[in-house]
Structure 1
Amino acid sequence: MQKIIRKIRAFLSPQTPVKSSHSPIPTVDLSAPVIIPRDQHGISRSQIDKPALDVLYGLKRAGYEAYLVGGAVRDLLLGLEPKDFDVVTNADPEQIQAVFKRQCTLIGRRFRLAHVRFGRNVIEVATFRGEGEASTSSSAIKKRFGRRQEPLRQVDDTGRLLRDNIYGSMDEDIWRRDFTVNSLYYNIRDFSIIDYAGALEDIEKGQLRLIGDPEERYREDPVRMIRAVRFAAKLGFKIEVATEKPLFELGSLLLDVSNARLFEEVLKLFHSGVGLEVFEKLRHYGLFEYIFPLTHQTLAYEDDHFPKMLVIEALKSTDARIQENKSVNPSFLFAAMLWEPMRDLMEQYQEEGESLQDALHHAANEVLNAQIKSTAIPKRFTAQMREIWVMQFRLPSRHGDKAQRLTEHPRFRAAYDFLGVRVAAGEEDLASLFDWWTQYQEKNPVEQVAFANDIEQPSRRKKRPRRNRNPYRKSSGAKANTGDL
């Protein structure tokens, strides 16, 4: 990365002439965009996924402008491997669909986008955004929006952007992007990089800066606040002062973001490989409480004079798996985030006389229903979360063939890892149980049978028959056996 920074610094030196064919932009303090020719940057087409190249060249052959844009260009410059390749063009969504036909699906109401599919790969293609209706001359756009008398750009009373389907040119599009480091364009025609907003200087400084007035941009889209945290953690950049200040003040705007969108953003936050740093930054800026309100309340209390560490240990484990290119499951992350609130509530139900099984069921329902108001966790993940929680109370019951049956459960491995996280977080009384399961999995099937049978069973005193028992009196019965959950 230092080599890339030195190249950028050398390119931006006063002795280097800036080449440009674009007209000046009067709204900013830049006379023209910086254009880096192919021989002065390190991006090669071989580093770009073939589906993205197919989209770029497909639009080019159809006579449209097409650029690779955003995080992919930034990451390639920094020597990182991009996760997504996004394309921007002067073709409107219907024209994009005409180029790629059945491969293309149009989505979105707030931002109308085209998704071009290549098997499991999806390339997102956006039309250049504009600022006024003068740039919306497309008959297809007028047909779709004009007849219904709907404004193409809408904001609510707080300044949040509700609709933005005004199309324009690249000179306008740049000012609709969020952070400078996400505003670089890679031109497929001559393989140059175009920088309107000083992104190269910000990369050199290692800083994250919003384009435009920070408070206004956050109000337009509050998700930009948690994106700022994610990019700062991922890139190791500091957040520029003016961009950082509103983060302490505008967190409550996240309450107006749809819970479905926040779920997707949470996955990006904590499955980034730097989830622990993201968590610490979210708490620093007061944003975490709007994403996981119950977890935030739980973290305010200590357990036996020690801070509750489960979330931290779970994030350490998740970061390690991602850095080792191992798979991660959202249900594990959410189970860890909500374990303490669920367990606290479960204990309250038990104190009121409920069995462990009923208490766990009621607590899980209540906690999940509360969390879904913030992040819309799909049912397939909530079902897996419940299984991980239930397995925590089944793992101690492992004598004989019970151990084998537990290992055959589809959520056994996640439950075992979760048990390990609990031990790492300070539940030392579970260390011997975790060690036992570790040893059990290392043995062959014959050894496992002997190992499970060798567990000392708790002694059970033989019940004496009661005398003069009234055969018509119903037994009150005992509470459910918690070991059989």
Structure 2
Amino acid sequence: MLKKLFQSLRSPLRRAKHTRSTPEVLSNRQHPLRRGQNISRHATSVVERLQHAGYQAYLVGGCVRDLLLDLEPKDFDVATSATPEQVRAEFRNARVIGRRFKLVHVHFGREIIEVATFRAGHPQGDEDENSHLAARNESGRILRDNVYGSLEEDAQRRDFTINALYFDVTGERILDYARGVHDIRNRLIRLIGDPEQRYLEDPVRMLRAVRFAAKLGFEIEKHSAAPIVKLAPMLRDIPAARLFDEVLKLFLAGYAERTFELLLHYGLFAPLFPASAAALKHNPGYTERLIRQALANTDLRIQQGKPVTPAFLFAALLWPALPARAAQLQARGLAPIPAVQEAAHELISEQCQRIAVPKRFTMPIREIWDMQERLPRRSGKRADLLLENPRFRAGYDFLLLRESAGDDTGGLGDWWTDYQDASDSERRRMIRDLTSSPSDSSGAPRKRRRGGSRRRRGGDGTGTPAGE
């Protein structure tokens, strides 16, 4: 698809600024996009209805980019000259959302078409007549953005060149204001405008640059990459609730391991996970192995269409910081189990100051960690009771994840794998073997194999539906 697109551009690309006042227009002979192919019919109808009402309207951004890359768009966005109130007047199934950035959601059953009004550049001072619609803080970060403008202004204020492509479904034309097609061809993530200023306006753009680079397999263009390490600490000023949403986009979209590599490379991991970043310094081998394994397994589950849970992901990301914290508390006189519990409470509380992990996930995180203390204690009826615990499977998967990263548990993972597959009489014998072994019931069990090694159950490092 891309070959046809770029071969059709007979004229050489002009050397110019990232944005131009008049777009490069690609006719339907110069690109493969067609209104009836791979494009939501609901998105097409929204565009056509707005155009028939006298407004400008285009498909814009990621959907155009992904179609050019022969990828299936996750959703379809529309940009228009109509204000949110005018859009809502055209569609009975629409509602206006947002305060920082007003949008309209047009509902078609389970599909939502997001419609945004063309935005203008952001006023730098109080003299602008629209300054009450756009607000900044002292560092230049945009707090409110409802200054409407023209199509040209809308293109100039978008973040990346590859997201500043507009598709007219009626005429099947692509309008390229920022040489986005050029950057798609060269597989580059490039900011529109001055990179440092754009990151100051919204530091989350640094995370978006990493996310697109990981998703598309692109490189971040050198000038766009240059300020990131210096400005990475500005992520601490972003509301914790917004960062939770951004972290889910980073790690639960199927390319988490590559995202982790880029976050480390650009110094963005520490502002998001300070305790985990400290663990990477103090115990780099184990910490990186565990996190990478968890992320790789998460990617695999997503590719296979299996469920994943943020609770398991955050449990893995934060776990390497827990033992040292618990050891400090033990050194102050706390018993081992209370020390782990207190360390877990402190660690999660501190992390929620940075990323607002909801309680529906923090509780399972603690339960998964608590399972790591309970799984070695198997005497009497404890093993059977643990099997019935709704968090057992997530705790068991997490145990296998720890072992794959290098934790020496004395064969505990193998024991629980065998125990799940054993008959009632075999289970009773396994419990008796524990009590008759030199170690106590929380120590290492005897090795037991029949007919070669058993295949471990679960252990993909993401938890199961029972752990969600």
Same fold (TM over 0.5): yes
> Mean alpha-carbon deviation: is it higher for 275-284 or for 409-418?
409-418
Pair 1:85 & 2:64 matched: no
> Whole-Å Cα distance in 2 between the matches of residues 440 and 228 of structure 1?
47
- 8 Å CA contact 2:25–2:175 kept in 1: the answer is yes
The alpha-carbon deviation at position 349 of structure 1 amounts to: 2.3
> Whole-Å Cα distance in 1 between the matches of residues 268 and 369 of structure 2?
27
Partner of 2:466: none
Match of 1:260 among 200, 222, 241: 241
- CA offsets, 1:175-209, max 9 Å, x none? 11000111111212222222111011111111111
Matched AA of 2:221 = E
> Whole-Å Cα distance in 2 between the matches of residues 9 and 40 of structure 1?
8
Is there any run of 5+ residues in structure 2 with no aligned partner, and where? 124-128, 444-468
Q: Against the structure 1 CA distance between its residues 451 and 37, is the aligned structure 2 distance closer, same or farther, given a 3 Å change threshold?
A: farther
Q: Against the structure 1 CA distance between its residues 127 and 30, is the aligned structure 2 distance closer, same or farther, given a 3 Å change threshold?
A: closer
Match of 1:376, SS?
Answer: coil
Is there any run of 5+ residues in structure 1 with no aligned partner, and where? 19-25, 134-145, 462-480
Partner of 2:457: none
Partner of 1:458: 435
The alpha-carbon deviation at position 399 of structure 1 amounts to: 5.3
> Mean alpha-carbon deviation: is it higher for 169-178 or for 149-158?
149-158
Partner of 1:6: 3
Partner of 1:478: none
> Whole-Å Cα distance in 1 between the matches of residues 265 and 42 of structure 2?
39
> Whole-Å Cα distance in 1 between the matches of residues 404 and 160 of structure 2?
38
Partner of 1:330: 310
Matched AA of 1:231 = F
Match of 1:40, SS?
Answer: coil
* Percent of aligned pairs with the same amino acid: 47
> Whole-Å Cα distance in 2 between the matches of residues 412 and 392 of structure 1?
10
- 8 Å CA contact 1:399–1:453 kept in 2: the answer is no
> Whole-Å Cα distance in 2 between the matches of residues 399 and 287 of structure 1?
45
Partner of 1:476: none
Q: Against the structure 1 CA distance between its residues 227 and 28, is the aligned structure 2 distance closer, same or farther, given a 3 Å change threshold?
A: closer
Q: Against the structure 1 CA distance between its residues 100 and 439, is the aligned structure 2 distance closer, same or farther, given a 3 Å change threshold?
A: farther
Partner of 2:460: none
Match of 2:152 among 160, 171, 179: 171
Match of 1:429, SS?
Answer: coil
> Whole-Å Cα distance in 2 between the matches of residues 6 and 314 of structure 1?
37
RMSD between aligned alpha carbons? Answer: 2.8
- 8 Å CA contact 2:22–2:152 kept in 1: the answer is no
The alpha-carbon deviation at position 243 of structure 1 amounts to: 0.5
Matched AA of 2:9 = L
Partner of 1:298: 279
Partner of 1:424: 404
Match of 1:47 among 26, 38, 45: 38
Pair 1:210 & 2:191 matched: yes
TM-score after normalising by structure 1? 0.82
- 8 Å CA contact 2:8–2:29 kept in 1: the answer is no
> Whole-Å Cα distance in 2 between the matches of residues 320 and 393 of structure 1?
28
> Whole-Å Cα distance in 1 between the matches of residues 140 and 289 of structure 2?
38
The alpha-carbon deviation at position 68 of structure 1 amounts to: 1.5
> Whole-Å Cα distance in 2 between the matches of residues 108 and 78 of structure 1?
30
Q: How does 1:70-81 map to 2 (within 5 A)?
A: 70-81=61-72
Q: Against the structure 1 CA distance between its residues 380 and 120, is the aligned structure 2 distance closer, same or farther, given a 3 Å change threshold?
A: farther
- CA offsets, 1:389-441, max 9 Å, x none? 111222233456544443333323222221221111111435x3222333444
Match of 1:406 among 369, 377, 386: 386
Q: How does 1:274-313 map to 2 (within 5 A)?
A: 274-302=255-283, 308-313=288-293
Higher RCO (Cα < 8 Å, 6 or more apart):
2
Q: How does 1:374-413 map to 2 (within 5 A)?
A: 374-398=354-378, 402-413=382-393
> Whole-Å Cα distance in 2 between the matches of residues 83 and 372 of structure 1?
29
Partner of 2:209: 228
Q: Against the structure 1 CA distance between its residues 51 and 306, is the aligned structure 2 distance closer, same or farther, given a 3 Å change threshold?
A: same
Q: Against the structure 1 CA distance between its residues 48 and 411, is the aligned structure 2 distance closer, same or farther, given a 3 Å change threshold?
A: farther
Partner of 1:435: 414
- CA offsets, 1:321-376, max 9 Å, x none? 12222221111111111112223212322343333442232112111111111111
TM-score after normalising by structure 2? 0.84
> Whole-Å Cα distance in 1 between the matches of residues 157 and 21 of structure 2?
19
Q: What is the count of residue pairs matched by the alignment? A: 431
> Whole-Å Cα distance in 1 between the matches of residues 94 and 40 of structure 2?
18
Q: Against the structure 1 CA distance between its residues 121 and 363, is the aligned structure 2 distance closer, same or farther, given a 3 Å change threshold?
A: farther
Partner of 1:474: none
- 8 Å CA contact 1:392–1:419 kept in 2: the answer is yes
Q: Against the structure 1 CA distance between its residues 307 and 355, is the aligned structure 2 distance closer, same or farther, given a 3 Å change threshold?
A: closer
Q: Against the structure 1 CA distance between its residues 233 and 401, is the aligned structure 2 distance closer, same or farther, given a 3 Å change threshold?
A: same
Partner of 1:243: 224
Q: Against the structure 1 CA distance between its residues 12 and 173, is the aligned structure 2 distance closer, same or farther, given a 3 Å change threshold?
A: same
Matched AA of 1:457 = L
Partner of 1:181: 162
Match of 1:194, SS?
Answer: strand
Match of 1:366, SS?
Answer: helix
- 8 Å CA contact 1:186–1:192 kept in 2: the answer is yes
Structure exhibiting the larger radius of gyration computed from Cα positions: 1
- CA offsets, 1:101-130, max 9 Å, x none? 3x3332222211122333443332111102
The alpha-carbon deviation at position 42 of structure 1 amounts to: 2.6
- 8 Å CA contact 1:207–1:237 kept in 2: the answer is yes
The alpha-carbon deviation at position 254 of structure 1 amounts to: 0.9
Match of 1:151, SS?
Answer: helix
Matched AA of 1:434 = G
Matched AA of 1:88 = A
Matched AA of 2:39 = I
> Mean alpha-carbon deviation: is it higher for 417-426 or for 198-207?
417-426
